[in-house]
Structure 1
Amino acid sequence: MTILVTGANGGVGRLVVERLAQEGAKVRALTRTPAKASFPDGVEVAGGDLTEPEGLVDALRGVERLYLFPVAATARQVVELAVRAGVRRIVVLSSGAVTGGYDTDFHLPVEQAVEASGLEWTHVRPGEFMLNKVWLWGPSIRTERVVREPKPDAAWCPVHERDIADVAVTALLSDGHAGKAYDLNGPEPVSLRDQVEAIASAIGEEIRIERVTPQEAREIYLKQGGFAAENADFLLGFEDYGGGEADPDSAEDFDLAAYGPFPTAEAVTGRPARTFAEWARDHAADFR
């Protein structure tokens, strides 16, 4: 049985490949740059791009199960190709924003395309990624040992990317997950201030946290480029999930206690969800 992992070089995809290989599965990793790919021994590398479905025929040949990275524009075409290739099960990397009704344009169309296929499906819906902090805070921590945020005491339950991968691998390899959507969060609310402290502890150095205005943070993110610049307006409250204009100064803080416990990977894997402190230790090298 061959399992195709799309988005195989991504923050979650590479871990799905790694875990499947550890489990002895026959893995094919799809990447746009196969010549530069570095995967565990025994993993077959296939070239391809989800934005160009016509080039995926060879990559899908002989595949029975598929881990699908979300690309809404081509989801239906990719799923149609998967059906023709004989794929029987698809696990989608989706988003908790679908559960909340905020995401109607990006992850939801991918879920809908997969559900309409008639194949076995499972949706993995993580909330905020802990990994985002590497891309948002990494540059200023490495160069200045400082983090600048408008609301340093705001808290949420970010999820470790390994928990996301573990749930995806469980759904790919084990029965009993068809037709289910799994929302994933971290095990407890952690304020941005406490996240900074966890990273400081992991690298063994003090990191200052400075309060700035949303407008100042936006300028920092835009200047930084990459993930921070691409997501600055949404992350800082200048636009809503659908891209509509919003006022960051009028955004209300969530009272997480009012929502009760959030679902984690433990319900699927049977193992406690990883904490932010664990994640910080795992990624200490990214902040040094």
Structure 2
Amino acid sequence: MTILVTGATGTVGRHLVHHLLVRDQKVRALTRDPATTNLPEGVEVIAGDLTDARTLSAAFDGVTAAHLINFGGDYRLLANGQQIVDLALQAGVRKVTILNGWQEGTLEPAVRAGALEWTFLNPVQFMANFVTDWGEPLRTTGVVREPYGDRKSPPIHESDIAAVAAVALTQDGHHGQSYHLTGPEVLTARDMIRIIGEATGRDLRFEELTPDQARREWGAPGRRPNLSLFRAFTQTPGVSEGDLVEILIRMYGTPNDFATTLTDNVEKITGRPPHTFAEWAAEHVDQFK
């Protein structure tokens, strides 16, 4: 059978392509620009954009299962979920996995209401996010300056998310499941800086800011964190960057039981424990040097 992978060049999608090839599956990869796609030999690459249903008919043709994401290339939630589901059903797609962003959009309710066999993947913080968040300051100064250094999360390796998707797409028994996916350990921001330091052999430090210090630092030109992804996921297009900073500081400082609760779903579904943050850091040392 042919399995369609949307977001195939993204953080999770590229790992999913690998996991499916290892399982001897035929893979079709959806991308907006096939000319710039670097995927393994044997993968069928097709042009298309999830935000534009008119480009998806050929992508779904002959596909029996598909991995979908609930956001487009700008990380905003899809507005055309029902159209995507209708096209998939018309093409004969039988099952789908949905990688969720921070909130539900139009895709999830359309999938639930239709005839597709579905599995929702709800990961917590991606380990890959720390390259985006901390890569530049650690490379240039060796220091991350943020509030709430003892905030906790059980970050997950993006390959583990993909491994769960590969099982759900190729095996039965996962229809109607919504899997909360975590890594194997709850870590603080300080813990993760220490682990990255051990992997790189560098003296890396976390310097804690008070909320007021963070407001002042992040309000200065060139000093605020990258808020474009955060803005997209929080669906706040009209909110100023100053307000986004406030939201981010409040989020860092507010305990979230759901986001810090470990699950064993990765091991139950894949048959192996999830990767540790130390393993991930060892794979990405070049991005922190």
Structure-1-length-normalised TM-score: 0.85
Partner of 1:100: none
1:176-231 superposed Cα distances (whole Å, 9 cap, x missing partner):
111111110111110101100111111111112222233145347x8378x82214
The correspondence of residues 106-145 of structure 1 with structure 2, limited to 5 A, is 107-145=104-142
Q: Distance in 2 between matches of 1:277 and 1:250?
A: 25
Q: 1:169 aligns with which of 147, 166, 170?
A: 166
Cα distance, 1:68 vs structure 2: 0.3
1:76 and 2:77 correspond: no
1:267 and 2:268 correspond: yes
8 A Cα contact 2:148 2:252, kept in partner: no
Q: Distance in 2 between matches of 1:218 and 1:167?
A: 37
Identity of aligned residues (%): 40
The correspondence of residues 50-199 of structure 1 with structure 2, limited to 5 A, is 50-71=50-71, 72-95=78-101, 103=103, 107-199=104-196
Aligned to 1:28, what secondary structure does the other structure show? strand
**CA shift in 2, pair 1:13/1:216, >3 Å:** farther
Bigger Cα displacement from structure 2, 264-273 vs 192-201:
264-273
1:10-44 superposed Cα distances (whole Å, 9 cap, x missing partner):
10011111111121100000011100111111100
Give the residue type in structure 2 aligned to 1:70: N
Cα distance, 1:232 vs structure 2: 5.4
Partner of 2:74: none
Residue correspondences, number: 272
Give the residue type in structure 1 aligned to 2:29: A
Give the residue type in structure 2 aligned to 1:268: I
Partner of 1:3: 3
Give the residue type in structure 2 aligned to 1:228: N
8 A Cα contact 1:199 1:280, kept in partner: yes
Q: Distance in 2 between matches of 1:250 and 1:172?
A: 34
Give the residue type in structure 2 aligned to 1:76: Q
Bigger Cα displacement from structure 2, 211-220 vs 143-152:
211-220
Aligned to 2:275, what secondary structure does the other structure show? coil
Q: Distance in 2 between matches of 1:203 and 1:115?
A: 45
Q: Any stretches of 5+ residues in structure 1 without a counterpart?
A: 98-102, 236-240
1:244-270 superposed Cα distances (whole Å, 9 cap, x missing partner):
86664697542869x764344112112
Q: Distance in 1 between matches of 2:250 and 2:43?
A: 49
Partner of 1:29: 29
Q: Distance in 1 between matches of 2:12 and 2:165?
A: 9
Cα distance, 1:51 vs structure 2: 1.1
The correspondence of residues 218-233 of structure 1 with structure 2, limited to 5 A, is 218-219=218-219, 223=222, 228-231=226-229
**CA shift in 2, pair 1:211/1:33, >3 Å:** same
**CA shift in 2, pair 1:144/1:173, >3 Å:** same
**CA shift in 2, pair 1:249/1:76, >3 Å:** closer
Cα distance, 1:173 vs structure 2: 0.8
Aligned to 1:273, what secondary structure does the other structure show? coil
Give the residue type in structure 1 aligned to 2:267: E
Structure-2-length-normalised TM-score: 0.85
